[in-house]
Amino acid sequence: MLTDELMLAIASEAARWFELAGIAAIVAGAAIAFGGLGLRLLAARRAVEGDEAREHIPAFRRALGRSILVSLEFLVAADIIRTVAIEPTMRNVLVLGMIVIIRTFLSISLEVEIDGKWPWQRAPEK
């Protein structure tokens, strides 16, 4: 049987792992985005200038934006675990609500930036 202390320890550790996953997603995504940009530039064998920049920079921004979106999801999960399982006070719930609102706004903004359209404007999947 799980004691309260053990459940709190598990929840705290789970929140920490979600935070680490969020940090790892940003770092790995940035590395992959920069690596992809470098590979595209090497394949093109020319510096980023004028028209070439229009080809490479959007792909870089999409890759980086997607990694940030994934990271935000992990960080929201960590905040939810920490607030609900560890310290479920009214103040912490209100802070969590504000964090979720801000991160939701960031997620929607990033999706618009990446896809060039609102998330609800996607074509229906078949």
The DSSP code sequence of 64-102 is: HHHHHHHHHHHHHHHHHHIIIII---HHHHHHHHHHHHH
- Residue ranges per structural domain of the chain: 4-121
Contact status, residue 35 vs residue 27, Cβ threshold 8 Å: no
Tell me the whole-structure pTM to 2 decimals: 0.74
Place of tokens 């530039």: 41
Contact status, residue 56 vs residue 33, Cβ threshold 8 Å: no
What is d(CA 118, CA 3) in angstroms, rounded to the nearest whole number?
46
Q: What is the pLDDT, as a whole number, of residue 65?
A: 87
Q: What is the pLDDT, as a whole number, of residue 26?
A: 94
Q: pLDDT digit of tens for each residue in the chain (126 aa)?
A: 778 888 888 889 999 999 999 999 999 999 999 999 888 888 776 554 555 556 778 888 888 988 988 998 899 899 888 888 877 888 888 988 898 888 888 888 888 887 777 777 766 665
Q: What is the pLDDT, as a whole number, of residue 117?
A: 76
What is d(CA 58, CA 113) in angstroms, rounded to the nearest whole number?
10
